[in-house]
Amino acid sequence: MIQQEKVRKNRKPLITKSFFEYQRFPLWKDDKKITSVAIASIILLISAWIFIAKFFNELPPEIPLYFVKIGNGALAEKKDLYFLPLGFAFFTFLNLYLAHYLYRKEKLLSNILIYICLFLNIMLILIIFKLSYITGLIF
């Protein structure tokens, strides 16, 4: 038993690096432009959630959420408005994850994914402003 403990003490540990050394986010230190685009994308997403939460009580009971349909089918309950930023958040974080995963191998594809995140969140803000304009919240 004592012999086994001495052998174990002399072995190198199985994990030589700490957990945080493996979890580095390469976009933070290598490319500040892409990092700022990713941060802007997340800020736009958060601002969309804040805008919806702030003006939720002032919305009418039914809002024109489906622009393709004509008539009563185009209206949705105002609680369905939360699904819009939820879907955009899913695609944003999926793109950010894929960009993080592919950054060291395919920088161009990673950059494209980050800019798609920004484009999606700009579209989300424009859709929310259009809905608030149609319902009479702003302007």
Task: Count Cβ neighbours within 10 Å for each residue of 88-99 and write b for 16 or more, e otherwise.
Answer: bbeebeebbebb
Query: What is the band of 20 on the pLDDT scale with cuts at 50, 70, 90?
Result: very low
Q: What is the mean pLDDT of residues 77-86?
A: 86
The number of CA neighbours under 13 Å toward the Cβ of 44 is 23
Query: What is the band of 76 on the pLDDT scale with cuts at 50, 70, 90?
Result: confident
Query: What is the band of 61 on the pLDDT scale with cuts at 50, 70, 90?
Result: confident
What is the Cα–Cα distance from 26 to 22, expressed in whole angstroms? Answer: 11
What's the chain's average pLDDT? Answer: 78
CA dihedral 131, 133, 137, 138 (to 10 degrees): 130
Query: What is the band of 22 on the pLDDT scale with cuts at 50, 70, 90?
Result: very low
pLDDT at site 70: 64
Query: What is the band of 77 on the pLDDT scale with cuts at 50, 70, 90?
Result: confident
Q: What token pair was written down for 17?
A: 């690096």
pLDDT at site 21: 46
The residue written with tokens 């190198």 in the block is: 12
Percentage above 70 pLDDT, the chain: 73
What is the Cα–Cα distance from 114 to 105, expressed in whole angstroms? Answer: 15
pLDDT at site 123: 93
pTM for this predicted structure? 0.71
Conformation bin of residue 69: beta by default, left when phi > 0, alpha when psi is -120 to 50: beta
Does position 83 have pLDDT exceeding 70, yes or no?
Answer: yes
Query: What is the band of 43 on the pLDDT scale with cuts at 50, 70, 90?
Result: very high
**Nearest CA among 19, 39, 20 for reference residue 28:** 39
